[in-house]
Every structure is written in C-alpha cells, then in structure tokens.
C-alpha cells in the first residue's frame, strides 16, 4: 500500500529534528524528478526552479549523464585514491576557470569555503577574515557569522547565526556591507596587517555587485597582501562557463566550486594560485605551512564523470544563450504581472539566478532584503506552489531542461500569484 505525503511527513517528524534534513521546508516530500519536473509523494507535479538548490542545471535524470554514471558505477564507486576521472575533471576546471592553477577536492561547498579560509590563513600567517553581511559560505564557524542576522548591529561586529560558536571565532571575522567599498577600505586601513582574506560571493545570493566593486576588492587585496576568495559554489559554471570571474572580468586568488561540477553528486573543490594551493603539499611548504585535508569521498569517480559530462554539455553551442533567454523571459513576465498589480517590487539578480524582492527601494545589500516585505514574499511563493511552481523562498534557478510549455505554465502561475498578493491585506 502506497504512503501519502502526510504519512511521510509524520514519519519524518518522529526521527528527524524539526522533521527535515535542515535544507528545505519539511512540508513537501519529493518522490522523483525528471527533466524540468518533480513530483511529490501525493503525485502532484511541479515545474522545478529549485533544481536541488542549483546543481541540476541540465535538469533531472539527463540521459547522457546517467549513461556516464552507470558506466562508472560498474567499475567502482569510490577508492580513497587518485582516479583518472577525477584527474580529468581537475584538468577541465583548470582550463575553464581563470584563477585555477591547482585544484583540491572536497565533498561539499561548505567544506570548500572552510578550507579556502584556512588556506588563506596558512599562506599569509594572518588570522582575520572579512566577509559580507548576508553572504553564505557554508556551515563552518566563520561562515556562520552574520549570514542572516535578525539584529542589525554596527559593522564590523559579527553576529553568530548559530549556537555553539566560540567568541574567539567571532572576533576573527570582520563583517562589511556588500557593495560598500569605502567601508572595506576603512577596515583594511585599520586592520590590514591582520587580515588574511576577503571572501565574497561575486553575486551575493541574488544581489549583483555594483560596477567597480569586485575590481576594487581585487585592487585592495593585491595592494595589501590579502587573499581574495570568490565563493563560486553557486555561480561557477552558471553565470558563464568560467563562472562569475569570467562573467565580471575579475580574477580572484582562490575560488570555491560545487554543485554543477558534481553533476548532482557530492563534490566540491578549492581552486587557485599554485603558490597558495602549495600549502596542501607538505613537501612544498614544510611542516609548519602544511594544511592537512582528507575526505573519504573527495574526487570520487562517480561524481567526477557526472561533472565531466555536465560540463561537456554546457560547452555545446547555445547552452548559455538558452539559459539566459529562459531567465530573461521569466524576469519580463514577473515585471509585467507585478507592475500590472501595482505592487512595490524589484527583480534582483542575474538572468541565470534571480528572484522578486517586495520593496520600493533599490536592493544593493542584505539590509535592503531584510527590510523588504516578507509577508508578501511568503504569499507569492505559496501561490506559485499552488499553481505547480517549485522554488526556493529566495531564489529562482532556471535550467536547460525548461521547455516552452514550462515557461507558459510558469507565466500563468506568476499572473495568478501577482493577483493573489495584490488582493491580500498585508500587515
């Protein structure tokens, strides 16, 4: 006898804290995905703009990726040793990504960001990290500083987002407002000799960098011996084949990659300049400079072949043009429907990754998003779900699997959701 979605929700509550995996709302249990669609355990069908929080850029169950994975599974799933497919993937990352002279694998984006910050400290001999309020860099103690603070306190004091983080970690993280190069300059003027790295999402969640911002970070880091880290877990191979650094024309010292490079399997990487990456090599830097890093599934061949095939497909003519055209069509539909409804809003992001923010102010940093109308946002997303659109509360990820039929269905849902929000009283 088949179980209903409610049955699974109740079973989850009995064995999982808060009834979920800690990622997405536990009020939905996904049964399967194929192409651009997912189905929940009650059989409800959705056009999927969550796509696993980004990695399924080709859609679910792409035939060529499955063929590559199935062939590899017959040869072995993981070895805890070098394998040829992982080496090939590292070679392709180095060809594609401007800053990548060497690559080191891990299993998750959060690990990659943690090691990138540690690597910067090992290279510079300094301790402090500058991050930007609202920037997401995984679950390490440093990353869980001012990711989503509910108290807006004075910069550069960090606000822990989690229990269990020592005060000493908080004191090693300096927080700046995104897109405010003047504030970053003042921090470096005051504490530059103590700052190991600046870590930044080049597109922070969905907020784009203002013209000149990333370039100015590059200049400041070069002038002050600070390592510039681009967190490209989301933007790598999405904004362009060479990631945000290609799209914006700014090359960091290190970057972190994930999601797309594993083709839907657990894989991430740190990539960057050889002299910095040498700290993973004890023979190159000696005992004192050596950064130990181990991971049971790091560079496993199943994820590597999935990533290689995904990247091969992305290199084909027209892939990124199609992705951007889909995003631009949906952005235009949002503007038409919300404009007609007379609602204050901004469409924020890039055509490959964006969302609606319900505000009458320009969105240039976390505080603009924080002060936006969260009630309208929740109503809008609930109405989209009701009409068969599956997305994150704060992002919409287009994929190459989206069809003309999906777009038509999405536009219809957007019109419904805009009308729904305009009629609802908002506190």
231 is catalytic: yes
Res. 287 pLDDT band, cuts 50 70 90: very high
pTM of the model: 0.96
Q: Which of 259, 309, 391, 395 is catalytic?
A: 259
What is the reported pLDDT for 427? 52
Span 314-331, pLDDT tens digits = 999 999 999 999 999 999
List 40, 48, 231, 253, catalytic entry: 231
Q: How far are the Cα atoms of 2, 26, 157, 301, 350 from residue 78, in angstroms, in the given order? A: 34, 31, 43, 6, 36
Rounded CA gap, 115 and 279, in Å?
11
For residues 21 and 9, what is the distance between their CA atoms, to the nearest angstrom?
12
| Residue with the two structure tokens 């920037």 | 135
pLDDT in tens, 408-417: 999 999 999 9
- Gap between the terminal Cα atoms of the chain: 45
- Cα 86 vs. chain centroid, distance in angstroms? 22
Ordered domains of the chain (ranges, CATH): 5-61+319-423 (3.90.1150.10), 76-314 (3.40.640.10)
pLDDT at residue 352, as a whole number: 98
Q: Is 362 a catalytic residue?
A: no
Contact 207, 348 (CB under 8 A): yes
Whether pLDDT at 170 is above 50: yes
Q: Is 50 exceeded by the pLDDT of residue 1?
A: no
Q: Backbone phi, then psi, for 373, in 5-degree steps?
A: -80, 95
Active site annotation includes 309: no
- Distance from C-alpha of 321 to C-alpha of 222, rounded to nearest angstrom: 34
To 5 degrees, how large is the angle CA 118–CA 119–CA 120?
A: 90
The pLDDT score that the predictor gives to residue 3 is 79
Mean pLDDT of the region 51-60: 97
**Residue 425 pLDDT more than 90?**
no
> Residue 93 has what pLDDT?
98
**Gap between the Cα atoms of 209 and 230, Å rounded:** 12
Q: How much is the mean pLDDT over the chain? A: 96
Residue of 46, 115, 136, 320 marked active site: 136
Distance CA 224, CA 153 (A): 27
């Amino acid at each position: 006898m088949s179980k209903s979605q409610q049955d699974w929700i109740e079973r989850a509550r009995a064995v999982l804290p808060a009834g979920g995996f800690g990622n997405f709302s536990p009020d939905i249990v996904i049964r399967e995905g194929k192409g651009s669609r997912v189905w929940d355990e009650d059989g409800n069908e959705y056009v999927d703009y969550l796509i696993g929080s980004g990695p399924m850029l080709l859609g679910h169950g792409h035939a060529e990726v499955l063929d590559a994975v199935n062939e590899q599974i017959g040869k072995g799933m993981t070895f805890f040793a070098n394998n040829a497919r992982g080496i090939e993937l590292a070679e392709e990352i180095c060809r594609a990504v401007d800053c990548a002279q060497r690559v080191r694998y891990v299993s998750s984006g959060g690990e990659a960001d943690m090691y990138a910050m540690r690597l910067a400290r090992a290279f510079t001999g300094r301790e402090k990290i500058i991050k930007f309020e609202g920037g997401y860099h995984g679950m390490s103690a440093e990353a869980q500083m001012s990711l989503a603070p509910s108290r807006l306190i004075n910069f550069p004091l960090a606000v822990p987002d989690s229990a269990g983080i020592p005060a000493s970690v908080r004191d090693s993280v300096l927080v700046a407002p995104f897109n405010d190069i003047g504030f970053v300059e003042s921090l470096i003027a005051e504490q530059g000799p103590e700052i190991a790295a600046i870590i930044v999402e080049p597109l922070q969640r969905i907020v784009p960098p203002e013209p000149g911002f990333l370039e100015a970070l590059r200049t400041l880091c070069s002038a002050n011996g600070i390592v510039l880290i681009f967190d490209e877990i989301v933007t790598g191979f999405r904004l362009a084949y060479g990631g945000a650094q290609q799209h914006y024309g700014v090359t960091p010292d290190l970057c972190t990659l994930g999601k797309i490079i594993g083709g839907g399997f657990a894989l991430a990487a740190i990539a960057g300049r050889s002299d910095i990456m040498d700290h993973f090599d004890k023979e190159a830097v000696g005992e004192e400079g050596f950064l130990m890093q181990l991971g049971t599934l790091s560079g496993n061949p199943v994820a590597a072949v999935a990533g290689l095939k995904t990247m091969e497909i992305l290199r084909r003519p027209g892939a990124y043009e199609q992705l951007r055209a889909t995003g631009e069509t949906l952005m235009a539909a949002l503007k038409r429907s919300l404009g007609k409804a007379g609602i204050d809003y901004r469409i924020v992001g890039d055509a490959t990754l964006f969302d609606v923010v319900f505000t009458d102010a320009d969105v240039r940093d976390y505080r603009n998003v924080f002060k936006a109308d969260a009630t309208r946002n929740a109503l809008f997303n609930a109405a989209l779900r009701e009409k068969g659109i599956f997305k994150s509360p704060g992002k919409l990820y287009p994929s190459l699997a989206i069809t003309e039929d999906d777009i038509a269905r999405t536009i219809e849902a957007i019109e419904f959701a805009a009308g729904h929000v305009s009629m609802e009283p908002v506190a």
